[in-house]
Amino acid sequence: MQKPEPGFLFSIGFFLYVFVLSVHSQNDDYSVMAILKKALNSTSDLQWNGPDICKWEHIQCNSGRVTAIQISSLNLQGTLPKELIQLTQLQIFQCNNNGLTGPVPYMPKSLQRLAINNNNFNSIPTDFFKGMTNMLDVRIDYNPFGQWNIPDSLQDCVSITSFSGMNASFVGKIPAFLGKDGPLPALVYLALCFNNLEGELPGSFSGSSMERLLINGQQSMNKLNGTIAVLQNMTFLKQIWIHGNSFTGPIPDLSNHDQLYDVSLRDNQLTGVIPPSLIALPSLTVVNLTNNYLQGSPPKFKDGVRVDNDMVRGSNSFCTKKIGEPCSPLVNALLSAVEPLGYPKKLADSWKGDDPCVGGNNEWLGIVCSASPVNISLINFQSMGFSGKISPNFASLTSVTKLLFANNNLTGIIPSELTSMPLLKELDVSNNNLYGKVPLFRPEVTIKTEGNPNIGKDPPAPVTGDNSGGKGKNHTVGIIIGIVAGVVILLGLGAVLYIKSSRKKLKHVSEVQIPNEIEVHPHHFEGGNAKKASVAGGGIGSSSPSSSAHNAEAGNMVFSIKVLREVTDNFNQRNILGRGGFGTVYKGELHDGTKIAVKRMESGIMGEGEKGLSEFKSEIAVLTKVRHRHLVALLGHCLDGNERLLVYEYMPQGPLSNHLFDRNEDEESKPLEWKRRLIIALDVARGVEYLHGLAQQIFIHRDLKPSNILLGDDMRAKVSDFGLVRLVPEGQASFETRLAGTFGYLAPEYAVTGRVTTKVDVYSYGVILMEMITGRKAIDNSQPEENVHLVTWFRRMLLNRDSFQKIIDPALDVEEEALDSFRTVAELAGHCCAREPYQRPDMSNVVNVLAPLVEIWKPSESTPADIYGLDLDMSLPQALHNWQALDGMSTINTSSSTMLRTRDYNTQSSLPAASGFANSFNSMDAR
Ligand SMILES: *[C@@H]1O[C@H](CO)[C@@H](O)[C@H](O)[C@H]1NC(C)=O
Ligand SMILES: *[C@@H]1O[C@H](CO)[C@@H](O)[C@H](O)[C@H]1NC(C)=O
Ligand SMILES: *[C@@H]1O[C@H](CO)[C@@H](O)[C@H](O)[C@H]1NC(C)=O
Ligand SMILES: *[C@@H]1O[C@H](CO)[C@@H](O)[C@H](O)[C@H]1NC(C)=O
Ligand SMILES: *[C@@H]1O[C@H](CO)[C@@H](O)[C@H](O)[C@H]1NC(C)=O
Ligand SMILES: *[C@@H]1O[C@H](CO)[C@@H](O)[C@H](O)[C@H]1NC(C)=O
């Protein structure tokens, strides 16, 4: 008898196994759902009936498996069963805003979004997040968990962009792994308000890509403390809420925080002078400094910034109550003298008003005044526990006879400036930690330096080991050489590691589905460039040997023509992605499979010669730094002879125009749904908003149109070709017409006068909106003469309420409830295309109108205050504002959108409310 092959048996067994498994798991999903239904004490709100769980309300499936359970705000009672972990395809689980109790069970590893906030869960396993590598978004706020630390297992959520654990009974410290170089590189939103956290902000936050840091209102005894110096290096921050803690020290320099708009520092123990960089923040809209010990002149912020620094209650230590009024020179001198001491709180607490010698009573701690003439005669900071350096600015206090700094922990040197103090009789720095040579004072000055072990010596060498100090220059040279060598080696190692890790990160980011509007700053992609540097390998530098290393570091890769030829198959026709006003774009693939888009500038279009070259380079340097989630990133460039090439990230789904107009009917490419179009419109608006104001400098695109809007595989949009017009030397008339834009999208004033403002882009954007609504091109020659120009036709149709629905793209299924949003967008488009530039909204207004319409992921119907921990005593507009600020996290229902819209338009542009639009448009036209 012939025995069957074991392999054959095995495969049969395997197939059977797979078959059973798949049938089985469907059944499992049913049984798990049945268990869940029971555990939830299902009320009538939950329409969970019938055998097909995929037809149950609030459930989504894929291939019969449950992928989403969204049962927020249904007034549910009961518990969550431990069987939930068997739903191995579950990606979204939201049960927020119910009355669920008991422990939170383990969830399947497939989970991406978890919202269990605002329930009565009493515990959650500390290893809950173990292995949850798919997690993007976690909300566990407002549950009466027992006290726990921020769990270490969170480190497994390597894709997470948003973690919200407000009022979640956290104790202990904020862990360092949440910061830079930790395992969570995509984390941009961190909310830990109203817990019992204590200790300092981790140093690892320095350099992180965090955009929203909300840690206000800790309830612990000590609250969060230490300085907020790390904020200086968190330059992606948009929102800082640290109020209601015990932070000390000065507000750091914020001059690199160009996106920061909401700064709440109130109710801490901050001291020092308000840094000018805070006042100058370009995006600032709200700032609250109340109840600190801030010093110096009360700051005057720009118009439009909502400020509360509470002069009335005098809850800071400003020198005057009058905003913007400078302090007296003496006070300024004292403040600058104590800056290197970190503006000690003791002093800030006692130094009130603008006169250190007020009333001759010596009320200012550490300051002793002489009676006549009234002036500072003595600075007495002895035994005050100060650390930091001695400021050379004490020298400007020329009336001082004694500087007494004994018994502190002062470091650094004795500044030689102090020798110039004309009346100085005594300098006592004994028992500190100073080093260096004592400068030469006048002979009559008594200098006390005992108790400073290193005084008279060189600075303590920063390397450990043999550190006997006085072996002469030779030794020092050796140390320096050693340090340099060490640094070189470390840098080398670092570069290798960096390239490796950026490789990981790049992959990471491309896989991460970024939740709606939480922007992952393209910062991460810079690592990707470094990687490409290594990939492009041998070719690099052959065109630009001197600068490649430097450029690679700045994220501005120099590619060699050889590499670019190779990856585009010698600029093969087959690889052409498109042609634009500036050149032809080719697709390329680097050795590791990374796709790029290479734009080969038309020869002659760029300035030539040395000057043209250096201008090109400096412009490229600027453009590489303009990074935003909705702008196509410039990765690098290539210069070779007359060849000018730009290398961009590759956008797989191509230009928007292909999806709107040039669709291939027989392919299965479906028309873009309205929701999709809205999301794209908002993406574009955000990108352009950034170009217009939030980047380091203002960019005006001048050629916005659907073929310049590119889509990724997630169908999110990015604007391309921005800033290119800047690459072309001024006054090249022959290109003017070609570069100035595209007919159909040109703002009238631009077409006529050539005057360019940001409103030129707003106009073009309006045309794009019209195209997205109607599915018709800006210029459509197939139409009867009077309808060829989309804007003209659109305006006419919009004036007539009855014809409104006829403008909607016939390819779209229009649902009744979507009509409102059509109307809103149509009106917005009309405003954007207003004849006069000043009548058009700003791009930020556009964003504010669109954001509420876009609903990608709706967490719940609950009030924002519940979720986002806003103060309930906030006024409604304020709350709305803050909420809007958090728009990435949620959406605003349409009933409030009108309110936002009317509120957020420029007041001077006096745009009419939605309903009056048609009329006003009429009158605008009549001008
Ligand atoms: C669920 O319902 C049962 C009976 O209807 C009740 O006894 C039980 O207390 C309920 N549980 C919760 C958590 O509401
Ligand atoms: C911060 O608070 C902790 C206790 O939570 C305390 O040990 C530490 O000394 C404090 N640090 C500062 C700088 O006050
Ligand atoms: C900020 O970054 C710079 C440069 O990396 C570093 O020297 C400095 O110590 C950082 N500051 C803080 C407060 O982390
Ligand atoms: C600033 O904080 C105080 C409480 O310290 C609050 O009363 C006030 O409304 C806040 N102002 C703004 C503009 O947020
Ligand atoms: C003195 O300052 C140094 C460096 O700033 C610090 O390491 C040390 O702990 C301080 N000592 C005291 C007693 O504060
Ligand atoms: C070190 O110093 C000694 C004398 O001070 C000198 O003879 C010797 O050449 C020096 N060595 C180096 C490496 O500079």
Domain 654-925, classified CATH 2.60.40.420, yes or no: no
How much is the pLDDT for 27? Answer: 55
What's this model's pTM, rounded to 2 decimal places?
Answer: 0.54
From 267, 703, 721, 761, active-site residue: 703
Q: How far is CA 296 from CA 300, 342, 422, in A?
A: 12, 14, 27
Per-residue pLDDT of 787-831, as tens digits, reads 889 998 998 888 877 777 888 888 888 777 778 888 889 999 999
For residue 244, give both structure tokens. 């209601």
Q: Percent of the chain at pLDDT above 70?
A: 72
Helix axis angle, 843-850 relative to 758-774, nearest 10°? 30
Q: Choose between 265 and 580: higher pLDDT.
A: 265
Backbone torsions φ then ψ of 2, nearest 5 degrees: -90, 130
Token pair 């800030």: residue:
348
Say what the pLDDT of residue 714 is: 86
Q: How many CB atoms lie within 10 A of CB 624?
A: 21
List C-alpha distances in Å: 236 to 214, 262, 685.
14, 13, 20
Q: Tell me: the pLDDT tens digits for 262-291?
A: 999 999 999 999 999 999 999 999 999 999
Question: Using CA positions, which residue lies closest to atom 7 of ligand 3?
Answer: 233
Confidence at 854, pLDDT banded by 50, 70, 90:
confident
According to DSSP, the residues that pair with 579 across neighbouring strands are 584
Of the pLDDT bands very low, low, confident and very high (cuts 50, 70, 90), residue 740 is: low
- Write 598-603 long-range contacts (CB < 8 A, 24+): 598/564, 598/567, 598/568, 598/645, 598/646, 598/647, 598/648, 599/645, 599/646, 599/647, 599/648, 600/571, 600/643, 600/644, 600/645, 601/643, 601/644, 601/645, 601/646, 601/727, 603/642, 603/643
Distance 469 CA to ligand 5 centre (A): 21
- The full DSSP string for 42-106 is --TTS---SS-GGGSTTEEEETTEEEEEE-TTS---S---GGGGG-TT--EEE--SS--EEEPPP
Nearest Cα to 272, choosing from 288, 296, 255, 254?
296
Say which residues have a Cβ less than 8 Å from residue 503's Cβ, sequence separation at least 6: 527, 531
Domain ranges of the chain: 19-166, 331-461, 474-512, 517-649, 654-925
The CATH architecture annotation of domain 19-166 reads Alpha-Beta Horseshoe (3.80)
List the beta strands (DSSP E) in 300-445: 306-308, 317-318, 367-370, 375-380, 387-389, 402-404, 409-412, 426-428, 433-436
Rg (CA), the chain: 32
Q: Is 472 in the pocket of ligand 6 (CB under 6 A)?
A: yes
The residue whose CA has the least distance to atom 8 of ligand 6 is: 474
Amino acid 525: pLDDT: 30
Residue closest to 144 by CA, chosen among 102, 172, 115: 102
Instruction: Read off the DSSP letter of residue 221.
Output: S
Closest ligand by atom to 75 CA:
1
> Which residue's C-alpha comes closest to atom 13 of ligand 5?
409
Closest-approaching ligand to the CA atom of 345: 2
Q: For ligand 6, is residue 473 a contact (CB within 6 Å)?
A: no
43 lines ligand 1 (CB under 6 A): no
555: left (phi over 0), alpha (psi -120 to 50) or beta: left
How do strand 246-250 and strand 269-273 relate by DSSP bridges?
parallel
- The pLDDT assigned to 788 comes to 87
d(CA 115, CA 867): 10
Res 471 pLDDT > 80: no
For 517-649, CATH number out of 3.30.200.20, 3.40.50.1240, 1.10.730.10, 3.40.50.300 equals 3.30.200.20
For residue 460, the model assigns a pLDDT of 62
Quote the CA–CA distance of 926 and 91 in Å, as a whole number. 54
Give, as one character, the DSSP assignment of residue 576.
Answer: E
The least confident of 53-67, 465-479, 904-918 is 904-918
Lowest mean pLDDT among 655-664, 681-690, 693-702: 693-702
- Label residue 201 by pLDDT band (50, 70, 90): very high
- Return the CATH number of 331-461, one of 3.40.50.10140, 1.25.40.10, 3.40.50.12500, 3.80.10.10: 3.80.10.10
Give nearest CA residue, ligand 5 atom 12. Answer: 409
Measured from the CB, is residue 256 less than 6 Å from ligand 3? no
Binding-site residues, ligand 2, Cβ < 6 A: 198-199, 222, 225-226
Would you say the CB of residue 120 lies under 6 angstroms from ligand 1? no
Q: How far is Cα 632 from Cα 556, in angstroms, rounded to an integer? A: 14
A 10 A CB-CB count for 763 gives 26
Pull the structure tokens for residue 348.
């800030």
pLDDT for res 249: 96
Q: Which ligand is nearest to the CA of 200?
A: 2
The mean predicted confidence, pLDDT, of the chain is 77
DSSP state of 631: B
Residue 912 pLDDT > 50, yes or no?
A: no
Fold agreement (517-649, 654-925): no
Give the pLDDT score at 461. Answer: 58
Look up 703 and say whether it is catalytic: yes
User: What is the pLDDT confidence band of residue 248, given thresholds at 50, 70 and 90?
Assistant: very high
CB atoms within 10 A of CB 785: 7
494 vs 752, which has greater pLDDT? 752
Least confident range from 136-140, 655-659, 922-926: namely 922-926
Q: Whole-angstrom Cα distance, residue 368 to residue 408?
A: 19
Ligand nearest to the CA of 384: 5
pLDDT in tens, 423-433: 999 999 999 99
Confidence band (pLDDT; 50, 70, 90) for 43? low
**Distance (Å) from CA 826 to ligand 2 centroid:** 56
- The best mutation among 227, 387, 408 to test binding of ligand 5, ranked by most ligand atoms within 8 Å of the C-beta, falls on 387
Distance of CA 726 to the CA centre of its chain: 26
Cα of 258 vs centre of ligand 1, distance in Å, is: 53
Task: Please give the residue that has the higher pLDDT: either 595 or 516.
Answer: 595
Ligand 1 touching residue 41 (CB < 6 A):
yes
- Contact criterion met (CB below 8 Å) for 685 and 840: no
Are 160 and 511 contacting, i.e. CB atoms less than 8 angstroms apart? no
